[in-house]
Amino acid sequence: MNNTKKLASISEFENLANRCISAKSKDIAVISVCCGTGCTASGALDVLARLREEIEKRKLDTTTDTLFTGCHGFCERGPLVVIRNLKGNKNIFYQQVKPEDVAEIISETVLTGKIIGRLLYIDPTTKNKIISEEELPFYKNQKRLLFGSNGKIDPTSIEYYIAIGGYSALGKVLTSMTPQRVIEEIKKSGLRGRGGAGFPTGRKWESCRKAVGDSPNSGTLHTTGYVICNADEGDPGAFMDRSLLEGNPHSVLEGMIIGAYTIGVKLGYIYVRNEYPLAVKHFSIALQQAREHGLLGENILGTDLSFDIKINRGAGAFVCGESSALRASIEGRVGEPSVKYIHATEKGLYNMPTVLNNVKTWASVPLIINNGADWFSSIGTEKSKGTMIFSLVGKINNTGLVEVPMGITLREMIYNIGGGIPGGKKFKAVQTGGPSGGCIPEKLLDLPVDYEALTQAGSMMGSGGMIVMDEDTCMVEVARYFLAFTQDESCGKCTPCREGTKHMLKILTNITKGKGREGDIELLEEIGNMVKDTALCALGNSAPNPALTTIKYFRDEYESHINQKKCPAKVCKSLIKYSVITDKCNGCHLCFVKCPEKAITGTAKKPHIIIREKCVKCGICFDVCKQDAIKIE
Question: With bands split at pLDDT 50, 70 and 90, how would you rate the model's confidence at 339?
Answer: confident
Mean pLDDT of 385-410: 94
pLDDT at 603 over 90: no
223 with 364, same domain: the answer is yes
Q: Which amino acid is at 172?
A: K
pLDDT at 222 over 50: no
Instruction: Report the phi/psi class of residue 64: left, alpha or beta, with left for phi > 0 and alpha for psi in -120 to 50.
Output: beta
5 lies in some domain = no
Q: Looking at the whole model, is its pTM more than 0.85?
A: yes
Mean pLDDT (the chain) is 92
462 with 507, same domain: the answer is no
Report pLDDT digits (tens) over 503-525.
Answer: 999 999 999 999 999 999 999 99
pLDDT at 61 over 90: no
Is the omega angle on the peptide bond into residue 568 within 30 degrees of 0, that is, cis? no
Strands 64-69 and 308-314 turn out to be unpaired
Q: Domain count of the chain?
A: 5
Residue 454 is inside which H or E element, if any? helix 451-456
> How many percent of the chain have pLDDT more than 90?
79
485 with 581, same domain: the answer is no
Residues 6 or more apart whose Cβ sits within 8 Å of residue 548: 438, 458, 524, 525, 528, 529, 532
Strands 465-470 and 387-394 turn out to be parallel
Residue 230 is inside which H or E element, if any? strand 226-231
> Rounded to an integer, what is the distance from CA 298 to the centroid of its chain?
34
> Rounded to an integer, what is the distance from CA 593 to the centroid of its chain?
44
Mean pLDDT of 409-413: 96
* 3-state secondary structure at position 397: coil
Look up the domain containing 108 and give its range.
Answer: 28-84+92-131
Question: With bands split at pLDDT 50, 70 and 90, how would you rate the model's confidence at 223?
Answer: low
382 lies in some domain = no
Task: Write down the pLDDT at residue 176.
Answer: 94
Mean pLDDT of 331-349: 89
549 with 582, same domain: the answer is no
15 lies in some domain = no
**Last residue of some domain: 408, 436, 470?**
470
Task: Write down the pLDDT at residue 124.
Answer: 82
Distance CA(151)–CA(247), nearest Å, equals 8
Mean pLDDT of 323-350: 90
Task: Write down the pLDDT at residue 220.
Answer: 47
Task: Write down the pLDDT at residue 3.
Answer: 60
Mean pLDDT of 599-616: 90
pLDDT at 359 over 90: yes
Report pLDDT digits (tens) over 435-454.
Answer: 889 999 999 999 999 999 99
Give the domain CATH number at 313: 3.40.50.11540
627 with 501, same domain: the answer is no
Lowest mean pLDDT among 30-34, 82-86, 550-554: 82-86
36 with 76, same domain: the answer is yes
Distance CA(227)–CA(208), nearest Å, equals 10
Task: Write down the pLDDT at residue 218.
Answer: 43
- Sort 609 into a burial class: Cβ within 10 Å, 0-12 / 13-18 / 19+: middle
Residue 533: CB atoms within 10 A of its CB come to 9
Rg (CA), the chain: 27
540 with 622, same domain: the answer is no
Distance CA(269)–CA(409), nearest Å, equals 35
Distance CA(91)–CA(132), nearest Å, equals 5
Give the domain CATH number at 119: 3.40.30.10
Q: Pick the residue with more confidence: 219 or 595?
A: 595
pLDDT at 95 over 60: yes
**Last residue of some domain: 470, 492, 516?**
470
pLDDT at 215 over 60: no
569 lies in some domain = no
254 with 306, same domain: the answer is yes
Q: Which runs of consecutive H residues, i.e. helices, occur in 267-358?
A: 277-292, 323-330
Give the domain CATH number at 442: 3.10.20.600
**Last residue of some domain: 426, 445, 470?**
470
Task: Write down the pLDDT at residue 302.
Answer: 94
Task: Write down the pLDDT at residue 214.
Answer: 53
96 with 190, same domain: the answer is no
Question: With bands split at pLDDT 50, 70 and 90, how would you rate the model's confidence at 422?
Answer: very high
pLDDT at 219 over 70: no
Lowest mean pLDDT among 104-108, 195-199, 260-264: 195-199
Mean pLDDT of 339-362: 91
Report pLDDT digits (tens) over 142-161.
Answer: 999 999 999 999 999 999 99
pLDDT at 27 over 50: yes
CA 535 vs CA 325, 334, 492: distances in Å: 14, 18, 11
Residues written for the chain: 633
* 3-state secondary structure at position 501: helix
User: What would the 3-class secondary structure string for 108-156 be?
Assistant: HHHHHCCCCHHHCEECCCCCCEECEHHHCHHHHCCCCCCCHHHHCCCCC
Give the domain CATH number at 560: 1.20.1440.230
38 lies in some domain = yes
460 with 520, same domain: the answer is no
171 with 281, same domain: the answer is yes
Mean pLDDT of 577-588: 91
Task: Write down the pLDDT at residue 87.
Answer: 78
pLDDT at 235 over 90: no
Report pLDDT digits (tens) over 275-319.
Answer: 999 999 999 999 999 999 999 999 999 999 999 999 999 887 888
144 lies in some domain = no
373 with 254, same domain: the answer is yes
> How many percent of the chain have pLDDT more than 70?
98
551 lies in some domain = yes
Task: Write down the pLDDT at residue 463.
Answer: 79
493 lies in some domain = yes
